[in-house]
Structure 1
Amino acid sequence: MKSILLTILLSAIVVPGAQAAVSHFDDLNLASNSYWAGTVDPSVPLYEPTLGNFSSGPATFNNQITDWGGLTSWTGWAYSNMTDTVTAGYTNQYSTSAGQAHSGANFGVAYNYNPGDAVVAFAGPVAVQGLYITNTTYTALSMLNGDGFAKQFGGAQGDDADWFKLSIFGWNGSAETGRVDFYLADYRFNDNALDYVVDSWQWVDLAALGTITRLTFAITSSDIGQFGMNTPAYFAMDDLTVTAVPLPAAFWLMASALAGWFPLSRRHV
């Protein structure tokens, strides 16, 4: 009888093996060759942002869009299935330089000019495994060729030690759990043949961030002007993978206490 009751109690608190959950953006409806970067609320006054979040898999992504009187701007997260790898400039800000999503059709696009502009949040603590990252076409072509605002990486001779870096921060509540850096372009090699601008999906391992409730991002570049960074502050993301956090040790202590309680209780039967 003791073993039966103990089994019932333990089964009530033991969590099954944690399974990976993936934010792949294909659970969001999009027409072919299109994007979503926020929806202006007509009740919000001009020049004030409309706030909007969207979710994919276990994660929630922030977005805000502002109507400037016929023109709009956005920050945070958008999602897209656009695959134009040849058109340069701001009008092609929603395409990936990889020419496709990592999986399925859709992927996320972040505009993160200021650290923390783009946020990924979770309903509860998760163990983050990693995500796939690449450049947007807009940013990749800007670095490769230069444009009206940003320089060509490497300079005219290819010898400038330029770089473009994404930093990913883990947070558990208000406590930072760590940081992982990933170079989306790197021209700092002595051998110019090793210089690169990322144009394929690359896995970024985030396991070192541990248990988190949200991710934030910072983008930095060697190309800095009078008003800040010149390189377009975008990146594309797909297949963010996390797992549920196991029950804390306190639960197992409680289970042990319950196990010890049964022999005592039998003496009073």
Structure 2
Amino acid sequence: MKIGISALPFNLKEALDICEKNKKIDHIEVGLDNLEDVGVLKKYKSKIEDLNLSISIHLPMELNTCENINYIRNSWIDFICKIDEALTQDFDIKYYNLHLGYVMTNSLDRNRQKYLKNTVEFLNDSKLNQKLNGRILSIENTYSKKGDFSNVGDRVEDFNYIFNNIINDGVYFCYDTGHELMSKNDYNEVFDKTKIIHFSDNDGVNDLHLGYKKGILNDKIFDKIEKINPDYLILEIDFKDIEYTLNYF
């Protein structure tokens, strides 16, 4: 199991300094929201190589696999393909992580399966899969607060539907501990499809990205981690909490 931390372009230098100081960290997951962000990441290529870090990409929160307007949904596929084309000249990207997306709450409540079918079409897209050429797409559980819009992927049934209907065998589950605290579910049913864990703590109400023991996450999480035995465990937490949280691993 590789232990990693998450970073964004603006704090990537700080993240790499942390990786240099703590040899337990051998992976970095970088959030990229724009094609221009690839240029920022490339500036740190030699540093990433010197630290012998593997790398993955967290795609934008705005990405919407269940978008009902085909043109817009396809534009997100084009975005991923362009990001991948720009990155793979310089990096061996281990996986792309994404949230499933969001729908107007009333529409989602009326016909959830319709939007899950959109996600299945997105993940099965031949252009996307040809471009990624076997690289992993990880789909992450999230949470909903039931405003005008709700997130898809806040319950295990969504992922059961997806894994039962996709033909792309390069799609896996990313289990986010903090998100489960906010939308309680039993994700045991998809642990056999889990390769990535996002580890964080919170108060059960807000996605605070706290270090372990600073919220309500209890010791049972380590039984789940042992059961899953993920390829990557990403500390998706405040940088100041990384050092002491690593003591539990």
Q: Normalised by the size of structure 1, how large is the TM-score?
A: 0.21
Structure 2 length as normaliser, TM-score?
0.22
Looking at both structures, which has the greater relative contact order when contacts are Cα pairs under 8 Å and sequence separation is at least 6? 1
Q: Which has the higher strand share?
A: 1
More helix by share: 2
Determine which structure has more spread, i.e. the larger CA radius of gyration: 1
